């Protein structure tokens, strides 16, 4: 008698079929959907100089615990306020 046992359920390997369009690789230059992918939404056009000042005001307001200064910096970045707004600008 033979001591070699045969497997009653041999592993079956199937050949992969052709790729469907959902499995196909994206065209060159396209980025697949990824959580870190940036959206193509255009922010309001704030001049570079005003963006720099807005970021500086936001940072200064955060570091010095001045929420009104931080909010003014955020408004500048969103295009809702200008650097030249004297009435809107909190005293520094």
Query: pLDDT averaged over the chain?
Result: 75
Give me the phi and psi of 76, to 5 degrees please: -60, -45
Confidence band for 15, pLDDT divided at 50, 70 and 90 = confident
Q: How much is the average pLDDT of 14-41?
A: 62
Ranges of each domain in the chain: 48-78
Confidence of residue 26 (pLDDT cuts 50, 70, 90): low
For residue 71, the tally of other CB atoms under 10 A from its CB is 16
What percentage of residues in the chain have a pLDDT greater than 70? 47
Band of the pLDDT at 89, cuts 50, 70, 90? very low
- Would you report the helix, strand and coil content of the chain in percent, each value rounded to 5? 30, 0, 70
* Structure tokens given for 23: 């499995």
Helix (H) or strand (E) holding 75: helix 67-78
Report yes or no on whether pTM surpasses 0.75.
no
Q: Is the pLDDT of residue 28 over 80?
A: no
């Amino acid at each position: 008698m033979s001591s070699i046992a045969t497997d009653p359920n041999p592993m079956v390997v199937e050949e992969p079929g052709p790729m469907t369009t959902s499995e196909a690789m994206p065209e060159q230059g396209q980025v697949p959907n990824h959580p870190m992918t940036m959206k193509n939404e255009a922010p309001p056009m704030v001049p570079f100089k005003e963006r720099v000042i807005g970021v500086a005001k936001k940072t200064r307001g955060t570091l010095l615990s001045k929420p009104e200064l931080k909010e003014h910096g955020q408004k500048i970045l969103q295009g809702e306020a200008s650097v030249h707004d004297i009435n809107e600008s909190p005293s520094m």
